[in-house]
Structure formats: C-alpha cells, structure tokens
Amino acid sequence: MRFRVFYHIAFWLIFVLFLLQFNLSESLNDNFDILPILAIVAAVIYSNLYFLFPKYFFKKKYWTYSFCLLLIISLGAFTLELFFYFTRSIYYLPIFEIYVNLIFFVFITSSLKFLSEYFKNQKRLTKIENEQLKTELSLLKSQVNPHFLFNTLNNLYGLITQNQNLQAAKVTLNLSDLMRYVLESSKTEKVSLYKEVRFLEDYLALERIRLTQNADIRFEVSGLEKEVFVAPLLFIPLVENAFKHGLNSIAKGNFAHFSLSVQKDEVFFESQNAVNKAVDHQHNSRMGLKNLRKRLQLVYPERYQLEIEENQAIFKVTLHIKI
C-alpha cells in the first residue's frame, strides 16, 4: 500500500513538472492553473484505472471499454479546452494536442496498471499452485504413515502372543521414537539424511525381531561424510514394499538388501528382496511406487530416476536423486 501511494505521488510530480515547462512567466498566480488541470487529468486517469479497467477491460469487454475510454478522454479534453478558453491560461493547448497528451498519459498509466495486475495474478497463481503442491505432498506422505504404523503394530502383536514381553517393551519404545520422527519430519520440507538413515535402521531392527533368523536383512550406507538434506520419508516406501510384498511371511531363503550411498550432490538408494510367490507382487506394490513417483516428481522434478527390475525370484528398485 505504501509503495502504491509513493508511485502515485511520483507520477503526479512528473506531471506537474511537465506542465511547468510551459510556464515562462514569473507570476505566481499563473501556476495556480495547475490545480484544476491536475484535477481534470486525474479524473480521466482514475476513471479509467479504477472503473473502466475492472468493469470492462479485465472482463474482456474490449469494445465497450474502448468506447467508454474514448468518451471519457473526449469529456476531459473539452473540459480542459473550456478551462483554457475562459481563464486564458498560459498552459493553453489546441484541442488536438490536448487529445494527444491525454491519450499519452492514459496509455502510460494503463500499461502500468496492466503490468501490475499481471504480476499480481502471477503471484496469486503461484501461491495457489504451491498450496496445491503442499496439499498433494501431505496426502502422499499420509499414505506412507499408516502402512508403517500397521506393520509395526503387527510386529508388536506377534511378540505379545509369543509372550516375549521384554522384546515387546523394546518394540514399544522403538515404535514411539519412530512415530515421533514420522510426525515431526512430515511437517518439514527437508530433513538430515543422517536422521533418515537412523529411521531406516530402527525400522529394520523391528523387522529383524519379527522375522527372527529366517531372513537375511542388510542395510549398507556409504559416502555419508557431510550433512545432506533430503525430502522426509522418501526411502521408507521402498523398504516397506520389500517387507509387505516380499517378506511378509516367515520362510527360509527370504532376504531384503538395502544400500544407500552419497556421491557429491547425488544420492543412490537400492532395494532388493526375495519375491513371495503367494502375493500378487506386481499389483500390490504398484500403489506405493506410484505414490513415491508422484512425490519425486513434485519435490525433485527432472532430478530423479526410479528404475524397477523384477523376475520370478527378485524384485529390485533403484532410486537416483540429484539434490
């Protein structure tokens, strides 16, 4: 608002200086003619900016706008001509030149108004788009959290039914820490990769308890020598996918191997797991990977690669991100 007032004052100061160049007289009374001239020109300009523009131009009624603008300019020109005639003002101009000058000032102010509204609309559209992206990201994140919670609660239930109370207590504490991280990280745009790695390690520790010794679960991390920030909960869908659709049953020969490496400004994550033939792996895993791809497209557009390889025995997903 303050800037708008400043721009208006600056414009009218320039207009006054424009008029003063015509006054070669030293008479102070002559300069009082500026005030009515200023009032007439202001009436023309502000009628255009704050009445014709919003009522006709922005509603694409261009012919009506042009007719009304020509009418207002004509009224202003004839009013100025009458003022010059009766006052014999030193600022006298022929009617044609009055028209030209009014059209010039209307054109300048209209252009500024149009640019102002254009940038204002662009800013509003950008804000709306950002809000939509945030909403979509929140929805995608919320689809990850329930899976994680249900899987861990199933682990806890299994321990309780097996009377492994100490393990159940440990799982409960771990679950509390993990859920706290999920809730806190989901509210931020970026988190430390160190924290993400710790989160994955804690999750895998819970899965090792559930699967006991019947699964080979590994997680290798390399290149994490400096602070790196990534989108939160980005890798957990791949880890969950391995257990939900590959190792959801306790059987010999099951394995889930994960690796994360950092190379300069690039992060590589790989997930490999045994395929459980009893599960419709192709169908069930698609939704989680589809949601992950949507998140990646929103957060890392044109800066990620998500590759999937599968056969009858192994399901492999490779994620490459340029941060």
Residue 297 included in any domain: yes
Give tens-digit pLDDT for 244-297.
766 655 566 788 999 999 998 899 999 998 886 655 555 555 677 887 888 888
Q: Are residues 25 and 146 in the same domain?
A: no
Residues 82 and 139 grouped into a single domain:
no
Would you say residue 124 lies in a domain? Answer: no
Q: Based on the domain organization, do 156 and 51 belong to the same domain? A: no
Strand partners, 216: 255
Q: How many helices (H) and strands (E) does the chain have?
A: 8, 7
Summarize pLDDT for 183-228 with one digit per residue, the tens.
Answer: 787 778 889 999 999 999 988 887 787 676 677 889 999 998 888 9
The number of domains in the chain is 2
285 belongs to a structural domain:
yes
Concatenated DSSP letters of 181-206:
HHHHHTTSS-EEHHHHHHHHHHHHHH
User: Among 310, 303, 274, which residue's Cα sits nearest to residue 289?
Assistant: 310
Residues 139-150: tens digit of each pLDDT? 555 555 555 567
The domain in which residue 211 lies consists of 135-322
In 3D space, the residue among 71, 73, 98 whose CA is nearest the CA of residue 83 turns out to be 98
Of the candidates 93, 127, 161, which is a domain's last residue?
93
pLDDT, residue 120, reads 82
160 & 87 share domain: no
| Per-residue pLDDT, 261 | 95
